[in-house]
Amino acid sequence: MDGQRYAGGCFCGAIRYEVSGAARTLCYCHCESCRRASGSPAVAWGTFERGGFRVTRGAPAEFRSSKPVVRGFCASCGSCLTYSHDARPAEIDVTLATLDEVRQLAPRMHVWVADKLPWVRIDDGLPQFPGSPGSANST
C-alpha cells in the first residue's frame, strides 16, 4: 500500500481530503467513544502518517472527545472524518467509509471488542482484540 493516494470527504461535500502512503491498523473499532461520535455500532478506521494527510476543501471542525483525543468532523453534515491521539502525534486515523473508493481498503481486525454492543455479532473471521492491539488500550 506504500505510495497509494486516496481521496475522500464528508456526506455533504463541504470537506474533501487526500491521504497518501501506507495504510496501517485497518480496523473496526467498537469502543464507546467511536460509537457515540458516529452513531454507529462500530467505525472502520485506517491509520496514516499525518504528513500524508491534507484537507483539499473546507475545514473540519474538531472536538476533543477525551483528554488525549481530537476527532475531526464536518460541522455542516456531521460526518466523522478523523481521529488523532496525543500519544501518536505523527499519525492520523481516517474513517474508511468516507473514502471515495471504499473498496480499496478494508478492515483487517476488530478492536475494543470488550466495549462491543451486546447485540453485535462478529463472525467475519477477522482477529479480535479486547482493546487496542499493542498499546495501553487508551481510547
The chain-wide mean pLDDT, for the chain, equals: 92
**Residue range 18-66, pLDDT digits in tens:** 999 999 999 999 999 999 999 999 999 999 999 999 999 999 999 998 9
**pLDDT of residue 8 exceeding 50:** yes
For 124-133, the CB contacts below 8 A with 24+ separation are: 126/28, 133/25, 133/109
**pLDDT of residue 120 exceeding 80:** yes
Q: What is the mean pLDDT of residues 9-20?
A: 97
- Bridge-based pairing of strands 24-29 and 91-95 is unpaired
Q: What is the pLDDT of residue 132?
A: 87
Residue 14 pLDDT level (bands cut at 50, 70, 90): very high
Cell digits of residue 34: 467511536
- pTM of the predicted protein model: 0.88
Residue 102 pLDDT level (bands cut at 50, 70, 90): confident
5-115 topology per CATH: 2.170.150
Q: What is the mean pLDDT of residues 82-94?
A: 95
**pLDDT of residue 136 exceeding 50:** no
Report the distance separating Cα 68 and Cα 74, nearest Å: 20
**pLDDT of residue 139 exceeding 70:** no
Residue 71 Cα to chain centre, angstroms: 9
Q: What is the pLDDT of residue 2?
A: 54
Report the distance separating Cα 83 and Cα 133, nearest Å: 17
